[in-house]
Structure 1
Amino acid sequence: MLDIHKIRTDFPILSQKVNGKPLVYFDNGATSQKPQVVIDAISNYYKDINANIHRGVHTLSQLATDAYEASRNTIQNHINAKFSHEVIFTSGTTHGINLVANGFASILKPGDEVLVSAIEHHSNIVPWQMLCEKTGAVLKVIPMNEKGELILSEFDKLLSEKTKFVTVNHISNALGTINPIKYIIDKAHEFDAAILIDGAQAVSHLKPNVQELDCDFYAFSGHKMFGPTGTGILYGKEAWLNKLPPYQGGGEMIKEVSFEKTTYAELPHKFEAGTPNIADGIALGAAVDYINAIGIANIQEQEKELLEYGTKRLLEIEGLKIFGTAEAKTSVISFNIEGIHPYDIGTIVDKLGIAVRTGHHCAQPIMNFFQIPGTIRASFAFYNTKEEIDVMVEAVKRAKLMLS
C-alpha cells in the first residue's frame, strides 16, 4: 500500500490553499502536478550545466548532452522502444500527431481513407482533417455507444484496402474509457494500414509497451505524467520514421547544407530541429523515474479505489448523471446535474478550493453525441484521497442547493 500522505509531501503545490480552503486538485486530466524531484531537475540544469547540446566540445555542453540523452534512454526503456532513436522529443502530444500527419501528406493520395474514433480529443481530429483536405483522402469515424465505448463491429466494417491510416486514443480524456488498442492495432495491420495511438491520457495511469502493442506511432505529453509543460514524446518505428520527411527545417536536423542541396541528419535528429527544450527534457526523464519508483501497479490500485469510491459517492446526489460508463475505464468521472449548467457548478466548487474541469474538454463530438454543452470532470491521480472526494461531493451538493 502506498503512503499517500507521505507521497503528497513530494508535491509542493498540494499543501497550498485556494480561496482560503485546502486545495483539492481534481484536474489531473488537464495537467498533473509536479514532484519536487522534477522541479529540482529543471533548476539544477540551469544552475549547474546550462549549455547547448550536441554541438560543443566544452565540458558543460558534454554534460548537458549526456543528461539529455540519458533522459531519452530512460523514456526508451519505460515504453520499451527497440531503439533510442525511435524516441523523438516534442513539445507535446499535439506536436507529435501533427508531425506524423504532415509526413503522411507525401504518402496519401485521393481516395485513400483515414480512420479516427468518435471519442478523440480535437488534437487527434483536426490534423487528420487538414491532411485529408490537403491530399484528397477521406476521413471516416469509428462510432461510439452510450457507454462511451467504441463499436468494434463498426470499426471492422470500416476497414478496407482503402484504409491507409488509423488513429485512436489509448484513453479518452473526456470519459476515461480505455480503448482496446491492441485489437485495433492488429486489425489495422491486417489491411497494411499504419496506426498512431494518442497516449496523452494514458501515460500517467499505465505503462505502454510499444513493441508488445506493435503500434507504428505512440504520442504523449510530459505534463500529464508529472513532468514539465512543453515536453512530449513521439515514438515511431524506425522504418516509418525513416520514410517520413522532416517536419521542420533548421539547425540540428541537417547533415550538410549548401545552397544547392541539403541532406538530413539520421534519427532522431531528423525530427528535432533547433535548440530543444533541454532542461524540461531532462526533467521529463526525472518524472519517468519518479513514476517507476512509485510503481505503476501501485498507482493503478490507488486510482482504481478512487474511481470506485468517487463514482459511488457522486451517484448519491439526486439528479446526477455520469457520462462514460465503459467496462474498461480509468480514474476520470464526467458528470452533470439535471437542469444545472456544468460551468455554474465548477465556479462554485472553485470558491471552496476544488479544481475540476468544466466544458467540452476539447472533445466536442462527444458532447454532441450526448446532446449536452459539456460536463464537470473530476480526474484523479494517485496522490488524491478519498477524503478529498468527500469534500468535493459536499461541495457539489452545496452548489446544487444554491443553483436549484
Structure 2
Amino acid sequence: MTMYDIQKIRAEFPILKREVNGKPLVYLDNGASAQKPQVVIDAVTRGYAEDYANVHRGLHYLSNLSTEKYEAVRGTIKTFLNAAHEDEILFNSGTTEGINLVSYGWAAPRLQAGDEIILSVMEHHANIVPWHFLRERQGVVLKWVDTDVNGDLDPQAVIDAITPKTKLIAITHMSNVLGTVVDVKTITKAARENGVPVLVDGSQSAVHMPVDVQDLGADFFAITGHKLYGPSSSGAIYISKERQAEMRPFFGGGDMIRTVAKDVVTYNDPPHKFEAGTPGIVQMIGLGAALEYMMDVGMENISAHETALRDYAQDKLNGLNWLNIQGNSKTKGAIFSFTLEGAAHPHDISTVVDQRGIAVRAGHHCAQPLMAHLGVSATCRASFGMYNTTEEVDKLVSALELCNELFN
C-alpha cells in the first residue's frame, strides 16, 4: 500500500459498518482490544473450515499443512519485531502468559529474598502481579519509579534505581493509560552495563509504531494478538538466546519434550521447550494474517496517521476546559484518559457516550498503582487505532459536551 487510504482501511473491518444504539459505531476502545480486518476473519474461518488438524505430531496432509501455516507465523513475528532468529519467538496466549513464563521460568529459580525488580508506576497489572508472586513467595523487593507531572518516565530515574541487588527491570514501552512512550533503549543500554536484564511490555507500542527488538536491546519483549488486530488468545514473547539458556520450562506436557521415561525427562530445543500442549493453532495463524496486514499498510504509515489523529484530538480535547486529561507527554500516543470536573463518574460518562454509538473504556484500566499516583480512582479512556478518523474525534467531543451539560 503506497498511501494511507483511510476509507479503504475502514472498509476492510466489517464491524465498522454496524450501528450501536441507532448510531454508526465509533470504536475508541482499541487500547483494550482492537477490531479485526476481513483477512484475519478469513484466515481463522479457513483454518477451522478447510485446514484444521493438530500440529507437529501428524504425518498426514492436514497436519503438515496446519503445521506449515502455524510455524510460518514465527517468521512473520520475527520480521515484525526484527528479531535476529525465529527461535527467539515463543508463542503463547498473549502478554500475560508471556510475562508469567519469564516470572516462573527465568526469575523464580534465580531470585532470592532481598533481590530487586524495578517497575514503573505505569505498569499494567499483567506486568505487576507476576512479580508480586515472587515478592510474596520468595521475598523479592519491588522498587517503583514514578512519572513526572506530564506523565513522562525519566529513563535516568530508572537507571538511578539500579543497585547491586537489582536482578530485573520490567517496564512498559507505552502506557495503556497515559499513552506515554518510554525511552526503553536508554534504559536497556545502562541496564546491560550493570548486568541487569530488561523485560519490556510491548502490548501497546507494537500496534502503534515500528518495533526493533535488536535496536531496543531488550532481553524479553511481549506482544499480545488481540490488540494487534488479531484473535484473542494469541501472542508471543521475544526472548534472547542468552536468556532462554538460563530458563527452565514453565508448562510441562506434549511437544516440549524430547524423551520421557519413568525416571527421566529430556526437553525439546527452544522455542518448543517453552510451548507445551496443543497450542492456539488457528489463533496464531490469524495473528500472522493480522501482522502481515499491518506490515502491508506499513507501520510507519500507521504511526504517522495516528500521530496526526493524536494531534487533532489533543487540540480538540484541550479546548474543553472542564475536561481533565491525564498525561501530557510529548511522546504521547493516541490514547487519552480523562475525567470531567464535577460529580460525573467515568462509568456515567461512558454510558452517555455509548448512547451516541461511541465505545470508550471506563475504570482503572488494570493500572491501579498509576491511578493512585494520579490521585483518581478511575478514568474514561479513548484509545485510537489505524481505522479511526478526525470525524470520530468530533463525535467524541460532541458527546462529551453533552455529558458536561447533563452532569454540571
| Counterpart mapping for 1:66-81 below 5 A | 66-81=68-83
1:202: Cα distance to partner?
0.8
Aligned partner of 2:44 in structure 1 is: 42
1:359 aligned onto 2:393: no
Code of the aligned partner of 2:126? S
User: Does structure 1 retain, via aligned residues, the 8 Å contact 2:34–2:228?
Assistant: yes
CA distance in 1, matches of 2:148, 2:294: 33
CA deviation after TM superposition for structure 1 residue 203, in Å = 1.0
Note if 1:184 corresponds to 2:180: no
- Tell me the percent identity: 47
Match of 1:101 in 2: 103
Name the SS of the counterpart of 2:167 in structure 1.
strand
- 8 A contact 1:26–1:379 mirrored in 2: yes
Q: Deviations over 1:93-114 (max 9, x none)?
A: 0000000011211011122111
Partners of 1:208 and 1:3 lie apart in 2 by 23
Question: Deviation of residue 151 (structure 1)?
Answer: 3.2
Measured in 2, the distance between the counterparts of 1:318 and 1:78 equals: 41
Q: Give the structure 1 partner of residue 390 of structure 2.
A: 386
Aligned to 2:279: 276
Residue 332 (str. 1) matches residue 335 (str. 2):
yes
Q: Aligned-pair distance for 1:207?
A: 2.1
Q: For 2:350, which of 335, 339, 346 is the aligned residue?
A: 346
How far apart, in 1, do the equivalents of 2:80 and 2:165 lie?
34
Two-structure CA RMSD over aligned residues (Å) = 1.0
2:171 paired residue number: 168
- On the 8 A contact 1:256/1:263 being kept in 2, the answer is yes
How far, CA to CA, are the matches of 2:48 and 2:298 in structure 1? 29
Q: What letter matches 2:66 in structure 1? A: A
Q: Find the aligned partners of 1:281 and 1:163 in 2 and give their Cα distance.
A: 35
Give the 3-state SS of the residue equivalent to 1:255 in structure 2.
strand
Aligned to 1:255: 258
- 1:269 maps to a residue whose letter is H
Matching residue of 1:138: 141
**AA aligned opposite 1:337:** L
Give the counterpart letter for 2:353 in structure 1: V
Aligned residues: 404
TM-score by length of 2: 0.97
- Of 169-178 and 40-49, deviating more is 40-49
Give 1:318 deviation, angstroms.
2.9
Aligned 1:182-221 pairs, distance under 5 A: 182-221=185-224
Structure 1 regions of 5+ residues with no counterpart? none
The amino acid that maps onto 1:248 is F
| Structure 2 unpaired stretches of 5+ | none
8 Å Cα contact 1:31-1:224 kept in structure 2: yes
After superposition, what is the alpha-carbon deviation per residue over 1:155-174, rounded to whole angstroms, capped at 9, x for unaligned?
Answer: 23211111110010000001
Deviation at 1:136, TM superposition (A): 2.1
Contact 1:90 1:231 in 2 (8 A): yes
Residue of structure 1 equivalent to 2:229: 226
CA contact (8 A) 2:159 2:191 kept: no
Query: What residue is the counterpart of 1:62 in the other structure?
Result: 64
Confirm or deny: 8 A CA contact 1:357 1:378 kept in the other structure: yes
Tell me the distance in 2 between the aligned counterparts of 1:262 and 1:305: 55
Task: Kindly state the Cα deviation for residue 209 of structure 1 after the two structures are TM-superposed.
Answer: 0.9
Match of residue 401, structure 2, among 376, 397, 401: 397
Cα offsets for 1:229-255 (capped at 9, x unmatched): 000111100121122110111111111
Instruction: Provide TM-score, normalisation by structure 1.
Output: 0.98
Paired letter, 2:75: N
Q: Secondary structure at the match of 1:114?
A: strand
